[in-house]
Structure 1
Amino acid sequence: MTPAAKPVSSVAVIVAFATVYIVWGSTYFFIRIAVHEIPPFLLGAIRFMASGLMMLAWCLVRKEDVFNRKTVLHASVSGFLMLFIGNGIVIWVEQHLPSALVAILVSAAPLWFVLLDKPKWRENFSSRNTIFGLLIGFAGVILLFYEKITAAIHGDAVQAGAGALALLMLGSATWAGGSLYSKYHQGDSSTTVTSAWQMLAAGIAFMPGSVIGKELGSFNAAAVPADAWLATAYLVVFGSIAGFSAYVWLLKVRSATQVSTYGYVNPVVAVILGVVFAGESITVIQVLGLAIILGSVLLINLSKYRGTKKAAKTQLSNG
C-alpha cells in the first residue's frame, strides 16, 4: 500500500497564484524598461542565466541532487520550449507587431492548455464552467485591448502580416506544450532544481540568437542606465526566481487549466500598472474587460475547486 500524498497547503497555493498573477503581470512594465537599453536576446540570456545559476548555487548549498540526468534532460526540454521558444518568439514579434496584438495572442495560452492536455480532455471538455470561463476570459482580454487593436489594424504598425501572427500563435502553443511536458515529467527532483535547469537551458539557447543578431558588438554595458539594470534585476529575482518557480510548482499541485488562468490575469495587472505608474488612461470598455476577465478566472477556479472537493469526498468515502 502506497503512502498517502502529503496535503498541499492552501495558503501556499494562494501565495503561489498571487505571485504568478501579480509578478508576471508586472514584468511587462519592467521588460519595456530593460529592453529599451539592452538588446532582446542578450536580455533573455542575462536574465535566465543569472536566475538559473543563482538557483543552482542555492541547491548546491542545500546539498540537493542537482545533476540527476533525467531531471536535467526533462527540464532542459521544457525550459527550451517555454522560456526560449515561447518568450523568444514574443521578443522577436514585438519588433513587428503592436504590443496589444501580442497580448491578445499570448492570452490564447489557456485555450492551448485545454487543447493539448490530452490526459485531461474528458475532464476539461465535460466541464461547462471551465469551457465557458476560458471563452469569456479570452473575450475579456479582447475588450481590454479593443481600442488599441482597432488603432493598430487601421494604422501602419501591422506590416509583418500573417507570418508574425502565425509565429506568435506557435509561441503560445509551445509555451503551453512545454508547461504540460514539465507537469507530466516531474521526476523526483525539487521544484527549485527543475526551475534552475529550465532557466539555464533557456539562457544558453538565447546566446546564439544574440551572436547571430550581432547584439554584443553594439552593446555597451557602461552606457546602460541604472533603471534598466534595476529592471533586469527585478526580472531575474521576481520574474524568474520567484514567479517562474511558483508557476512550475503550481503545475505539480494544480490542474494545468487552472494554472493557465495567469494568461488572462497578467494583462489586467499590466494595464493597472500602466494607469498607476505610467499615467495611462483607462476607458469604460477596458473596465468591462477587466470585470469579465476576473469573472472568468473565478468561474474556472470555482469549477476546479468543486471538482477537487468532490474527488476528495469520493476518496474519503471509499477509504
Structure 2
Amino acid sequence: MIQQLKISIAFMAIYFVWGSTFFGVSIALESFPPFLLSALRFLIGGLAITVYCIFQKETLPATGDIIKFALWGIVLFGGGVISVVWAQQYITSSFASIVITTPFWFVVLDKSQWHINFKNGWIMGGIAAGMVGVVLLIAQRPSANFGGIDNMEIKAILTIIAGSFLWVVGSLQLRKSQKSGSVYTKTSIHLIAAAVFAIIVSFLSGEGEIMQWSLIKKDAVIALLYLSIVSTSATFLAFIWLIKHKPVALVSTYSYVNPMVAVLLGVFIGGEVISGIQIIAMLIILLGVLSINIPNYKHKLLFK
C-alpha cells in the first residue's frame, strides 16, 4: 500500500510538475538568458541536495566514479534540459513540450525491454496513439505554421529532438548505476557538473554582457526557485526512483501528459485559445497512456 502510494506520488510529480516546467521556463527566460538560467537552476538544485547529503553524512564516491557521474550529468542535463531551455527562446512553452517524444527513444534504446516492448500490442499501440495525439496538437496549435516556419524554429525543434535522445541515453545509464551508492550523492554530482558546464557555455556565448541583473523580475526569480527545487531536485529524484521500480516505457508516458499540462497552462494562464481538435488530441494522448499501462494492470490482477 505504501509502495503504491509512493509510485502514485512520483507519477503525479513527473506528469504535472514537469508539465508546468515549460511554462516556468518561459517566465524565467523573461529575465535570464538560457544558459545562465540553466546554470543557476542546476546549481541551486544541486546545492540543495548536497546540503541534504551533508546532514545525512553520505559518503563521497571514488574519484573515478565522481568523474563518471559528472560526465553523465552533463549528458543528461546539459543535453536533455539545456536544449529545451535554449529552444524556448524561439518556440512557445506548450509547443516545446509537444516536440519532446521520449517514449520513442526509450523503446528504441532500452535493449533490456525489446523482447517485451516490440511484441506487446498494447505498448506499441499506446505509443502510436500518443504520437498521433502529439501530431494533432502540433498541427492545430494557433502559432504552428509549418509553411512559414523560420530557420531558428527549425533549429529549435531539431535541438529538442537531439536533447530528448541525450536525456534517454542518460536516463538508461542512471538506471544501470543505481545498484550501488547514494542516489542523492549521485544526483548532486550530476547537477553541479551540469551547472559548471552551463556556466562555461554561458560565458563563451557572451551572456554575461547582455544580462541585466537590475531588471530581474520577481516572477522570474520565483520561477527559477520552482524550477530548481521542485522540478529539478525533487521531481528528478522521483523520476530516477521510478525508472528503477517501473518499466521505462511506462515511466516515459510523462512526455505525453506534459504537453497537455503545458497547453492547459497556456490556455488558463497564458491566454492561449484551445480548439476542439486540441481537446480530441489530448484525449487520444490519454488513451495512449492508458494503453501503455494496461500490461502493468493485467500483471497486478494476475498476481493479486
Task: Give me the TM-score of the superposition, normalised by structure 1.
Answer: 0.88
Structure 2: where are the runs of 5+ without partners? none
Distance 1:259 1:268, change over 3 A: same
The structural deviation recorded for 1:68 is 4.4
Distance 1:127 1:185, change over 3 A: same
Structure 2 Cα separation of the partners of residues 302 and 285 of structure 1? 26
Structure 1 Cα separation of the partners of residues 20 and 267 of structure 2? 12
Q: Is the 8 A contact 2:80 2:163 kept in 1?
A: yes
1:64 aligns with 2:77: no
Distance 1:299 1:114, change over 3 A: same
Q: Is the 8 A contact 2:97 2:262 kept in 1?
A: no
The structural deviation recorded for 1:116 is 0.2
Q: Deviations over 1:198-230 (max 9, x none)?
A: 211211111111001111122232320111111
1:41 alignment partner in structure 2: 35
Distance 1:305 1:196, change over 3 A: farther
Structure 2 Cα separation of the partners of residues 30 and 161 of structure 1? 20
For 1:253, the aligned partner's letter is: H
RMSD: 2.3
2:48 alignment partner in structure 1: 54
Q: SS in structure 1 opposite 2:85? A: helix
1:3 alignment partner in structure 2: none
Q: Deviations over 1:9-34 (max 9, x none)?
A: 00000000001100000111110010
2:273 alignment partner in structure 1: 281
Distance 1:110 1:254, change over 3 A: same
Task: Give me the TM-score of the superposition, normalised by structure 2.
Answer: 0.92
The structural deviation recorded for 1:256 is 0.9
The structural deviation recorded for 1:65 is 1.6
Distance 1:180 1:145, change over 3 A: same
1:130 alignment partner in structure 2: 123
Percent of residue pairs bearing the same amino acid type: 33
Q: Is the 8 A contact 1:96 1:158 kept in 2?
A: no
For 1:270, the aligned partner's letter is: A
1:202 alignment partner in structure 2: 194
Distance 1:278 1:105, change over 3 A: closer
Q: SS in structure 1 opposite 2:141? A: helix
Q: Deviations over 1:2-54 (max 9, x none)?
A: xxxxx970000000000110000011111001011101000000000110011
Greater CA drift, 203-212 or 77-86: 77-86
The structural deviation recorded for 1:99 is 5.3
Q: SS in structure 1 opposite 2:31? A: coil
Equivalent residue runs for 1:121-270 within 5 Å: 121-148=114-141, 151-155=144-148, 157-160=149-152, 165-270=157-262
Q: SS in structure 1 opposite 2:39? A: helix
Q: SS in structure 2 opposite 1:137? A: helix
Distance 1:309 1:176, change over 3 A: farther
Distance 1:68 1:187, change over 3 A: farther
